[in-house]
Amino acid sequence: MSIRLFNQPGKHDETIGKYEIRKPSFFRRLLMDSLDAVPPGHNMMALLEIDITESRKVLRTQKNNGKRVSLFAFVVKSIATAIAEYKELNSIRSGNRIIEFEDIDVNVPIELNSAGEKFPRQIVIRKVADKTVEEIWEEIHVAKKQHQTVGYAGQEDKWAFSLMRKLFILPKFMRTMLLKVLQDNPFSVKRMSGTTLVTSVVMSGVSGFVVPYLIGQRAVSFALGSVVKKPAIVDQKIIIREFLSITIVFNHDIVDGAPAARFTNRLKELIESADVL
């Protein structure tokens, strides 16, 4: 990536000052094109603060016993378990059709470095509802290493990566058109990027919500925020508890408010109780 510092050509203008023009990396351009191709949707949002005090105690105990677990892997497993009980949320829309899938494949973006620039790459964890928290942690850990060493994680990701590079031979309007065709095919969406998205945007010490994109026409996506300590009332006493902020975006074309609320309550129960551990 080439970066040059220079003054505005022509007459000097103090209101402009110095500036830089950057050419986005391949991965940044790929992200831009993919977002340009996202079809419009009719979304509902749920903003949650979930008490994870007891769950984190269980996680720390398991780590002390040598198990390879993490809060993120635990939440991903809880999400998949809840979706398995509300199968309409494991759907992808294509025009007037809604395809409901059996396998819950979770898209997990990870942040990597290339030529001094940070950018997201995705990992697709297949059949998450059938895996343990340890297995999910291990799959994410191995995929990160593969991305850092060879640039992709597995043959499926290698194929998708090769396809995206070939698309950049075409003009932008043609790339966007082809990406829209891919995103309108629910089977291509599942194959390349799973049935749901779970991303983590950690803001150290800050309680806040981040709204994730519904990439393609999925039924639901999730964004995890930070863990923040806050006072809460427990047994008529004010004590300090740990809370995780989660944003859920539902595709209103696929799911209505009542089932979305029931799903949200069930997910909250699973995370607070640490049942999947």
70-104: pLDDT as tens digits: 999 999 999 999 999 999 999 998 888 899 999 99
Q: Phi/psi class of residue 26: alpha, beta or left (left: φ > 0; alpha: ψ in -120 to 50)?
A: alpha
The tokens describing 24, both together, are: 């986005």
Q: For residue 222, give the nearest of 276, 267, 177 by alpha carbon.
A: 267
pLDDT recorded at residue 1? 46
Residues in CB range of 240: below 8 A, 6 or more apart: 229, 230, 231, 232
Q: Kindly write down the DSSP assignment for every residue of 201-219, as one continuous string.
A: ---TT-----PPP--TTBS
Asked if the model's pLDDT at residue 52 lies above 90, the reply is yes
pLDDT for the residue 32: 65
Mean pLDDT computed over every residue of the chain: 81
Among candidate residues 226, 225, 224, 227, the one with its CA nearest the CA of residue 198 = 224
- Is a pLDDT exceeding 80 seen at residue 262? yes
**DSSP state at residue 40:** P
> CA–CA separation, 60 vs 70, rounded Å?
9
Say which range, 6-20, 160-174, 220-234, 246-260, has the weakest mean pLDDT: 6-20
For residue 6, pLDDT beyond 60: no
Mean pLDDT computed over 130-151: 84
Q: H or E element: which one contains 232?
A: strand 220-234
pTM of the model: 0.77
Res 28 pLDDT > 50: yes
Least confident of 86-90, 138-142, 156-160, 178-182: 156-160
Tokens of 263: 């799903």
- pLDDT mean over 35-48: 75
Question: 26-272 belongs to which CATH class?
Answer: alpha beta
Q: What is the pLDDT of residue 200?
A: 86
Q: Count CB atoms within 10 A of the CB of residue 141.
A: 12
| Helices 186-193, 172-183: inter-axial angle, 10-degree rounding | 100
Core vs surface per residue 17-32: b (16+ CB within 10 A) or e: eeeeeeeeeebbebbe
Rounded CA-CA distance 145/79 in Å is 25
